[in-house]
């Protein structure tokens, strides 16, 4: 079963761009939420992680704070 992938990001975040580029280059679909503009999604992200750092990448039930390519590959491979 394919896991839903969500990225909570901001337009100026370098690591957010790296994460989105990684998913795009690997033809992996994701849903992006701009937490700089969307207060509801920002609150949701803070509730999940307890902090304001971006990107927050959610793959199924797993949450990664920051761009950790090895961990992302591991979680995607486990699909």
Quick: pLDDT tens for 14-55. 999 999 999 999 999 999 999 999 999 999 999 999 988 999
The pairing of strands 56-59 and 62-65 is antiparallel
**pLDDT tops 60 at residue 62:** yes
Domains of the chain, each with CATH number or no CATH: 5-77 (3.40.30.10)
What pLDDT, on a 0 to 100 scale, did the predictor assign at position 3? 80
The sign of the dihedral angle between the CA atoms of 23, 25, 26, 27 is positive
Which strands, in side-by-side order, build the sheet including 56-59? 31-34, 5-9, 56-59, 62-65
> Is pLDDT of 1 > 60?
no
- pLDDT of 79 reads 65
């Amino acid at each position: 079963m394919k896991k839903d992938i969500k990225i909570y990001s901001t337009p100026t975040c370098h690591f957010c761009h790296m994460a989105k580029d990684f998913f795009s280059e690997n033809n992996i679909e994701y849903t992006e939420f701009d937490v700089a503009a969307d207060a509801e999604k920002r609150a949701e992200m803070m509730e999940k992680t307890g902090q304001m750092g971006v990107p927050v990448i959610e793959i199924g039930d797993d949450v990664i704070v920051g761009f950790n390519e090895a961990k992302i590959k591991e979680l995607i491979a486990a699909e």
